[in-house]
Structure 1
Amino acid sequence: MLLTISTTHRPATDLGFLLHKHPERAQSFPISAGTAHVFYPRATEDACTVALLAEIDPIALVRGGATTLTQYVNDRPYAAGSQLAVALRTVFTTAMTGRCDARPELAQQPIPLSIRVPSLCSRGGIELVRRFFEPLGWQVDGEPVPLDAEIPGWAESRYVDVTLTGELRLADALRQLYVLLPALDGTKHYWVGQDEADKLLRAGDGWLAAHPEREAITKRYLEHRRTYVNYALERLGIDDEPEEPRVTEAPEQPESLAKQRQGSVLAALRAAGAQRVLDLGCGGGALLRVLMQEPSFTEIVGLDVSAKALDLAERRLKLDRLPDRQKDRIRLRQSSLTYADPSLTGYDAAVLMEVIEHLDEERLPALEHAVFGVARPRAVIVTTPNSEYNVRFETLPANTFRHSDHRFEWTREQFGRWADGVAERHGYTVRRLPVGAEDPEVGAPTQLAVFTEVAA
């Protein structure tokens, strides 16, 4: 297996400083199933290329554990993405950390890079390579590697000849390769356990959580082992979003309905000029994560009746790792939303995102009194499913709710009557907005109401 890294940064031989490998020396390093060789085919001030060649000994790879001939006679020892990732980590460990004692300023500087893997296993072809690398700033060029053009059906294989071009810190590029090479392959040459999940989190720090394909990357890197996938996703702060687990959003929507809801709520909070915000029924902290990224929110309070949900939110938000300045902005409290709590008065805005449908309808007056009568924030934002849209979810059985814990789901007319009544009883104006792609017959999948207190 071969991987080359090239740069035109001047002087290009600075690549040797970053990799801690001298351009004038060829070096070899033992790896678990063979030897990794590092050498420089080109090293001038204008252009420099380093090559990593992983030479695999298939006999050593399976010695002591081989039970069938296929463990020796197959492509896996030679082209496994995990083998190349192991070679990368073994040879360029220090470079992956971003440490360069000789040139520390250079290690923090993005430089032009061109990385080529002439035989990359991608179970999803070149399109999957693009989906994984392009969001990170890479330009992806490549083509399938033919097996035998003379044999029908053998013109293409799962291997691709790929070149990545971009301007990144070398440490970031190496960590991305370490994760994405085996993720593209989708299988590993060794057992996947808890330590692999931790390696993924370390190598993905700073980029994986924001990647649009983070869940697919995590699942493929960890070979779909549910325990470790769930652990990694939780540590990345990715919400499983229980609201639509079986009724995936309409295919034409560009992003998940959950993300669109969060974006709509955030836009409403900005429009209200809110600085101190209550997230009522915060659950596992999906919206809190979004609010924390908005510097204009000076105080954020998440409330939920479930201690388990609040523990999950604390872990997902990584509150124990936040700097004091960030930590001081957010508080989590256990409380029932139907209990009047005078300590919640004086906030600019409160959000009830996908909350009211989890209450029995006869308890809504108590929630209304607690939020609109006692807390009385200047603005209240409420989202709830539009039951009319349920017919558009092909996998949702007729006359059932989107989630097993929903006590009701309202039509647009029902939600409108409730919202108008609340506004009239408590001195608010209200406007309703759609969330998600609107269907001309049944409306949008989610309905949102923005209540604004009428000035005295």
Structure 2
Amino acid sequence: MLLTISCTRPDGAAWTASDLGYLLHKNPSRIQTFEQSYGEAHVFYPEAGEERCTAALLLEIDPVRLVRGKPKGTPDFSLGQYVNDRPYAASSLLSVAISTVFGTALHGRCKQRPELAETALPLRIELPAVPCKGGAEYAERVFAPLGWTVVATPLPLDPAFPDWGDSHYLRLELTGTMRLSDALSHLYVLLPVLDGSKHYWLDSGEIDKLLRFGEGWLVDHPEREWITRRYLTRRYTLVRTALARLAELDDAEPEELDAIEEITEDTVAEGDSTAGAAAEGSETEDERGPSLAVLRRAAVHRALLEVGASRVLDLGCGQGSLLRELVADRAFTEIVGIDVSMRELKIAARRMRRLPEWQSKRVTARQGALTYTDASLTGYDAAVLMEVIEHVDAPRLKALEQSVFGAAAPGAVVVTTPNSEFNVRYDGLAAGAFRHSDHRFEWSRAEFADWAQRVGETYGYAVRFAPIGPEDAEVGASTQMAVFTKQGKSDDSDEKGAA
């Protein structure tokens, strides 16, 4: 397996092309060899000048070590080690080598030249053999949206017999201007995706790898579902969890992903362009109407307007989907997002920076735990707990109730949570299973009403209920909402009646 990365110095640049060696942490003046569990990885530089530099990563695979290196009990075709004549083309083996040999560059770190690590460089990447049963079209579809110019040339089955046609291997050339860390992350994720197979057994840690190295580009990729399925080799449970987490990053609805069906190799080979049609059905987005996530934000927005709120807390704001919804409405003069996850808040802050100044100056997001009293949260007109309470361990709910309804005591509190009765309408969701892997519980309408009535009576709030999403005659709507208003506060919600 061979990978070459070339960098060309633009006119007037303050750096030289050979500075690529600093980013890769590999000296251009010597050949280096790194032991791998399946063979050896060699790094060398065919050229290293001021104007152009090329680094090469060459893998020598030892098939015996590759077989012996598998953990005991790893499921596999029992005779595969004897009869498998699969060519050693760019695949998960190369991805592993990238992460071990170029790990520092993959993570975007360079102590000697930190500014260069953040610089978009003119790069050219060449791979002489890449397995891709979907053909050149799929290489284009996964790399082009990331800013690469793609040249994918099918390799013949046998040059001596052109009538045999092409193999499912490609010679792949990528050119583009981007950070080296981004380029390596694209290769790390997408080479196994094109292959559709991995040389090691997958567990839930693969999801974290996918999201970590796909951060900043996977969530917005038009082929993200196909990429996710192929990266996780169509393992149903892993795929479902990964797509749910990606849906959260994209403000989509994780609960809508439970009907995922595995996409077979035949489907891919036939050119299924959506790779999600089997799960989504044949309806278009217009025919389906707005997603549940959109309907939920709209319902919360309306509820806040109905109670006359202008200063609002979004508790458990995540990556700021509701913040961006509310800040576009001038009725809200101050919006504060609180979340325990710094990672989520960093993404929210990045999204807030894209807003026009008249919006961004009215919204802030900071870290906080909802189960602890925070004096700075007092005095607000309303607070929102949108799809939050089901992520809290049941024994800690009372602490959340005290901190929100007791200590902060806003004029109104809007709470949304899944309706567990509706789960039977999600094809593929096992009986008794939750819609999301991080849910601690999911309540029926009666259970939610009992909880809301108790909280209202304890802290002096009236409460009314509303469904979110299309209602089913038997099981209600997918999401349920409660609007709490402080007793004695005159607002539209009181006039409309409290349960």
- TM-score of the two chains, using structure 1 as the length reference: 0.63
Contact persistence 1:125–1:144 (CA under 8 A): yes
CA distance in structure 1 between the partners assigned to 2:474 and 2:44 by the alignment: 59
Q: Which deviations, in whole Å up to 9, do the C-alpha atoms of 1:425-444 show, x marking residues without a partner?
A: 979xxxxxxxxxxxxxxxxx
AA aligned to 2:294 is: Q
Q: Per-residue deviation at 1:81? A: 0.6
Residue in 1 aligned with 2:60? 55
The answer for the alignment partner of 1:326 in structure 2 is 366
- CA deviation map 1:47-100 (0-9, x unaligned): 211111111122332248798664255454612510111121121111112111
CA deviation after TM superposition for structure 1 residue 254, in Å: 8.7
Q: SS of 1:326's equivalent?
A: strand
Relative to 1, partners in 2 of residues 1:257 and 1:119: Cα closer, same or farther, differing over 3 Å?
Answer: farther
Aligned position for 1:445 = none
- Indicate whether 1:161 and 2:166 are aligned: no
Shift of 1:234: 4.7
1:186 aligns to 2:228 (yes or no): no
Tell me how far apart the structure 2 counterparts of residues 212 and 125 of structure 1 sit (CA, whole Å): 18
Q: 2:294 aligned to 243, 246, 262, which one? A: 262
CA change 1:407–1:262 in 2 (3 A) is: closer
1:147 aligns with 2:157: yes
| Residue in 1 that maps onto 2:255 | 242
Task: Tell me the alpha carbon deviations over residues 387-418 of structure 1, each in whole angstroms, 9 at most, x when there is no partner.
Answer: 9xxxxxxxxxxxxx6x984469xxxxxxxxxx
Cα deviation, residue 104, structure 1:
1.2
CA distance in 2, matches of 1:58, 1:227: 30
Alignment of 1:396-407 (within 5 A): 405-406=475-476
1:308 paired residue number? none
1:246-325 map, 5 Å:
248=280, 250=282, 252-253=284-285, 262=294, 290-292=321-323, 296=327, 298-299=334-335, 318=344, 325=365
SS in 2 for 1:145: strand
CA contact (8 A) 1:56 1:77 kept: no
Give the Cα separation in 2 of the matches to 1:198 and 1:38.
28
Deviations 1:187-237 (A, max 9, x none): 111111233333333323333334333333232222222343344445543
3-state SS of paired residue (1:79): coil
Aligned to 1:4: 4
> What residue in structure 2 maps to residue 24 of structure 1?
29
Relative to structure 1, is the Cα distance of residues 266 and 353 closer, same or farther in structure 2, using a 3 angstrom cutoff? farther
Matched letter for residue 28 of structure 1: T
Whether 1:204 and 2:240 are equivalent positions in the alignment is no
- 1:137 is displaced (CA, Å) by 2.1
Query: Does the C-alpha gap of structure 1 residues 112 and 189 become closer, same or farther in structure 2, counting only changes over 3 Å?
Result: same
Q: 1:263 to 1:29 in 2, by over 3 A?
A: farther
Counting matched residue pairs gives: 373
| Identical residues among aligned pairs (%) | 44
Where 1:209 maps in the other structure, the secondary structure is: coil
Residue identity opposite 1:56 in structure 2: I
> Are the structure 2 counterparts of residues 221 and 198 from structure 1 closer, same or farther at C-alpha, using a change threshold of 3 Å?
same
Verify the 8 A CA contact 2:91 2:130 in the aligned structure 1. Answer: yes
Q: Deviations for 1:125-149, whole angstroms, at most 9, x for unmatched residues?
A: 2222233222322222212222136
- Counting only pairs closer than 5 Å after superposition, residues 357-436 of structure 1 correspond to structure 2 as 384-385=469-470, 405-406=475-476
**Aligned partners of 2:474 and 2:5: how far apart in 1?**
51
Deviation at 1:18, TM superposition (A): 0.8
Pair 226,250 (structure 1): closer, same or farther in 2 beyond 3 Å: closer
| 1-structure distance, mates of 2:187, 2:159 | 30
**Per-residue CA distance 1:1-21 (angstroms, 9 max, x = gap):** 111111113521111111111
Unaligned 5+ residue runs, structure 1?
Answer: 303-312, 336-340, 388-400, 409-422, 428-456
CA change 1:121–1:257 in 2 (3 A) is: farther
Aligned in 2, Cα 1:314/1:48: closer, same or farther, shift over 3 Å?
A: same
Change (3 A) 1:70 1:255: farther
Superposed counterparts of 1:53-132, under 5 Å: 53-63=58-68, 70-76=80-86, 78-79=88-89, 81-132=91-142
1:221 counterpart letter in structure 2: Y
In the aligned structure 2, how far is the partner of 1:177 from the partner of 1:55? Answer: 19
Q: In the TM superposition, what is the alpha-carbon distance from 1:124 to its structure 2 partner?
A: 2.0
Distance in 2 between the 1:295 and 1:407 partners?
Answer: 24
8 Å contact from structure 1 (residues 278, 351) kept in 2: no
1:133 to 119, 128, 143: 143
* Alpha carbons of structure 1 residues 37 and 153: separation in structure 2 relative to 1, 3 Å: same
Question: Quick check: 1:97–1:171 contact (8 Å CA) kept in 2?
Answer: yes
- Aligned equivalent of 2:437: none
> Which structure 2 segments of 5+ residues have no match?
71-75, 260-278, 350-363, 369-376, 378-382, 390-396, 398-404, 423-443, 479-491
Question: Residues of 1 paired with 2:282 and 2:384: CA distance?
Answer: 35
SS of the residue 2:157 aligns to: coil
Residue 320 of structure 1, CA deviation: 12
TM-score normalised according to structure 2 size: 0.58
